[in-house]
Homo-oligomer: A and B are copies of this chain.
């Protein structure tokens, strides 16, 4: 009998942002193939008897090709083991889900996709802002820093000033990403918020503008960049009051907003 393959969104990293469905599947896992960004705290939910394989492509392990990941999933399934393919965030958003589904369909193995909290949602929650706003942002575009190298940027019917842009994987050179976005049509004074490790104990939230994004070099990946009027810094009464406490574990600061580069 063949095993089933579950392609699971592990959410942004904090174990309590897993879905109940994902947590239940992790608790009875046989084989786990996970990406680099899935943290140890999440993998601790897996039984000690399970086989856990990091199939991430970072840390110089470029020998693990996408084809090898497909082959591993199918091989375990054909040997009767259920496989959890754990991806950070949501599998359908910048997660190579399409390629993996094609391979599984071609092999004729049974699979199920379990959605997760994507980094954009977790980062918006961490920065206490909305990605859409009927007053200022009628639509939201998810792209990667790699896409931003080509112009023009997608803009809604009311223009880029009424669109929110969410850039996945904006680092490590935030200044270069900002320059590409400005070249692609965004105003250098556009507010933006850079969020690192959203929802985790050591999250960082940096509020700045595209022009000043180059000063955010200290923000550690994984990070996500939210650009647009929704990212405009607001007066935060509660935050100002608790800031000395927050400072011990989390950093939340504003870089100077300037109007030009």
Contact = CB atoms under 8 A, between A and B. Distances in A.
Contact of A157 (B133, B135, B140, B151): B151
B16 A17 contact: no
Contacts of A156: 141, 143, 147, 153-154
Nearest to A9: B121
Interface in A123-146: 124-126, 128-136, 138-144
Interface of A: 9, 11-12, 14-21, 23-24, 90-99, 101-102, 105, 108-111, 113-118, 120-122, 124-126, 128-136, 138-144, 147, 150-158, 163, 184, 199, 230, 234-238
Given A102-B234, A117-B121, 13 more contacts: A9-B117, A17-B115, A92-B121, A95-B132, A98-B129, A98-B130, A98-B135, A99-B134, A109-B238, A113-B125, A115-B122, A140-B141, A147-B156
Contacts of A92: 120-121, 124-125, 129-132
A117 B141 contact: no
Contacts of A120: 92
Contact of A21 (B17, B144, B150): B17
A116 B199 CA distance: 12
A136 B147 CA distance: 13
A133 B98 contact: yes
Q: Which of A14, A96, A140 has the most CB of B within 10 A?
A: A140
A155 B154 contact: yes
Given A92-B121, A121-B118, A143-B139, A113 B101 contact: no
Contacts of A16: 19-21, 24
A96 B132 CA distance: 8
A195 to B, nearest CB: 11
